[in-house]
Amino acid sequence: MAILDTVQENRKDIGKLELFVRMISNAWYTVNYFHVSFGQQDLIQDTVRRLKDIEGIRIDEQKASIILRLMASNRPETRKLLFHFDKNVPHWFLSPWYPKTDKNTIYQLSQDNTGEPLYHLYKDSIVINDRWFAYLTRHVRIIRDYIYWNLALFLQVRNPNVPDIPNKLIKPAMRNSLLKQRKFWDFVIDVNGPLTCIYTGRELFKGRYHVEHFIPYSFVSHDQIWNLIPADNSFNLTKNNKLPQLDRYFESFYALQELAIKTYLTNNPRERMLEDYFYIGTDLKEGVSKEKFFDVVNPLVTIASNNGFEFLP
């Protein structure tokens, strides 16, 4: 991906520092925001997390800003972490051209253009072969999609219970608006009067609350109504992507959802947001039992916790 990024900028010569920084920037959001694992033996996720702490870069920072910050850093620990990839990545990437060949020989053969490798390998840079550069430029979209497809398969094997892996490979340009979901809860308030925030106990009036994800968006990666509830504005701004403790909050969460379902079944049974409850068509004529709701929510919270998401204090 780092190579394709520079190809799209019409550059053949890539310094190794930039190459390693771009590798980190491509994995940044997947690792730091979505907590998707690249596997215990993969160095990139550990490096991404450590650089976040060393450089003080936000987990949801823009990719261009991450690149600028890391390229400009003079911290010895940052440079050491980045250039650790030089021990294996640049030359072993060329192993299909030079099977069963040692590191020094790969460097020399690539510089001699033996077998026309993807790039010529030097101490501080790689230079993409002219013919390969033309090929990558012509087919960059197809190759990028192929990489994402295989990366999704790679990560799904290592995160078998994490939902929506393909949408956790890059940072979305913009989160979806929750306007429809707000209207959903506005109607519940219209019918029943003010609701109560399950986190703070404060009353929630129409137009004076936030719609929040009970299980963080950064894990479930969707805006389905079963996981959305109204919450106190000030609390929601501090919750971020932390998990709720079910022994403390589930009963109140379920009570809100149960009230919403009953309200719509009585007053607006054709509401479309009820059609795909829990990912699949769910018959809501008799409501949703507390046990079924818990069976949906509990495994997701457990998996998210195991993947590194922290609980609310």
The CA distance from 7 to 14, in Å, is 9
DSSP strand pairing (195-196 vs 210-213): unpaired
pLDDT of residue 280: 45
> Which tokens in the block code for residue 202?
């404060």
pLDDT of residue 174: 59
128-183 pLDDT, tens digit each: 999 999 999 999 999 999 999 999 999 999 999 888 899 899 877 556 788 989 99
pLDDT along the chain (313 residues), means of 10: 93 96 95 89 90 93 92 96 96 96 97 97 97 94 94 94 89 75 94 95 93 90 90 85 94 94 87 67 67 88 87 90
Query: If we measure between CA atoms, which residue out of 194, 176, 236, 183 comes closest to residue 212?
Result: 236
pLDDT of residue 175: 67
List Cβ neighbours of 153 (8 Å cut-off, separation of 6 or more).
Answer: none
Claim: this prediction has a pTM higher than 0.85: no
Query: If we measure between CA atoms, which residue out of 63, 1, 5 comes closest to residue 32?
Result: 63
pLDDT of residue 60: 84
Q: Parse the chain into domains and list their residue ranges.
A: 2-87+139-168, 179-306
